[in-house]
Amino acid sequence: MNLTELNRIATAMVAPGKGILAADESSGTIKKRFDAIGVESTEGNRRDYREMLFRSKEAMSQFISGVILYDETIWQDAKDGTPLVKLIEQSGAIPGIKVDEGTQALPMCPGELVTVGLDKLAERLKKYYERGARFAKWRAVIDIGSGIPSMTAIRVNAHALARYAALCQAAQIVPIVEPEVLMDGDHDIDRCYEVTQRVLNKTFQELRVQRVALEGMVLKPNMAVSGKKCAKQASVEEVAEKTVRLLKACVPAAVPGIAFLSGGQSDEEATAHLNAMHKLGPLPWGLTFSYGRALQAAPQKAWSGKAENVAAGQKAFSHRARMNGLASKGEWQSSLEKKAA
């Protein structure tokens, strides 16, 4: 393992003013997104859509540090025969790959899930590295509800995350460690804070046990937010204050950076929360975004599967990338959204 190189890549992934595009939607997820805009989810349409994003020169070169790909996408070529991985590299961004294989019901723990995909992961990582991937992602899912999460669910998911991270570093690939506490319930922000604290503490305990070099990884956590069904929604300022306090309590300074998931927040909410956190600096690690839907909802709608709309889709993508790039430096203002409207 070359830790110097892993640290260089991890640091580049969280460079000031840039963030990570999560373009790793599963076939089922992207079908739902395409259904919403009236586009058939064929392999060709998925390729064309992602090629549109990766050829968005302004967004990719100025505001995107890396792209998380799905297995199908990393092997695809653009219409002119250029591998999509090469388009990402040519923009100056780093190609990455989602390597988990989804979730299964966790035995003896009703309503809880465990992420799978460790079998033969070492062999898959070698092939992904040869194709150009320099970082990977594994997502653990922790739900909040009546009597959950259990310590069992937290522990087994943290263990799997650490196993994955160690395998990545052995393959000279930077692991994005993503323990996501879902925001789907009716819990308040304090309940989210408490559960996320338990999840992060157990995750870093497992990472240390399995000898993962913290300097060669990136954390992708949820923010401390109210559940979607909670009657009292926390303000932008409260989300920022409690999230920063939580991370300072749980995340060692050796970690180069933290790239938030948007987790179901609206485009502007995710941007505003990230921006507000940077007002609370200085921070011990880089703090940026690793958004999927919050970066892509607008360009998907603008594109709508039509070749004549590619420029409009790229413009929408560039706008959202720029807004989040500004937020990752604490320089975003809501008035900038209105100017672009």
CA gap 25, 31 in Å, rounded:
9
Write the pLDDT tens digit of every residue in 125-171.
999 999 999 999 999 999 999 999 999 999 999 999 999 999 999 99
- φ, ψ for residue 314 (rounded to 5)? -65, -35
Distance from first CA to last CA of the chain, Å, rounded?
48
58 part of the active site: no
Whether 127 is catalytic:
no
Mean pLDDT, 10 residues at a time, over the chain (341 residues)? 97 97 94 95 96 97 98 97 98 98 97 97 98 98 96 98 98 98 95 98 98 98 96 96 98 98 88 95 94 93 95 96 95 84 51
CB of 41 within 8 A of CB of 34? yes
pLDDT at 340 (0 to 100)? 58
**What structural domains and CATH numbers belong to the chain?**
3-340 (3.20.20.70)
CB half-sphere exposure, 82, CA atoms < 13 A: 12
Q: Are 242 and 261 in contact (CB under 8 A)?
A: no
pLDDT for residue 338? 76
Q: What is the pTM of this model?
A: 0.96
Pull the structure tokens for residue 35: 């259904």
The pLDDT tens digits of the residues spanning 100-118 come to: 999 999 999 999 999 999 9
The rounded distance, in Å, linking the Cα atoms of 238 and 121 is 40
Contacts of 275 (CB under 8 A, 6+ apart): 326, 327, 330, 331, 332
ω before 149 within 30° of 0 (cis)?
yes
Which among 18, 98, 137, 220 is annotated as catalytic? 220
Q: Residues 178, 180, 202, 206: which is the catalytic one? A: 178
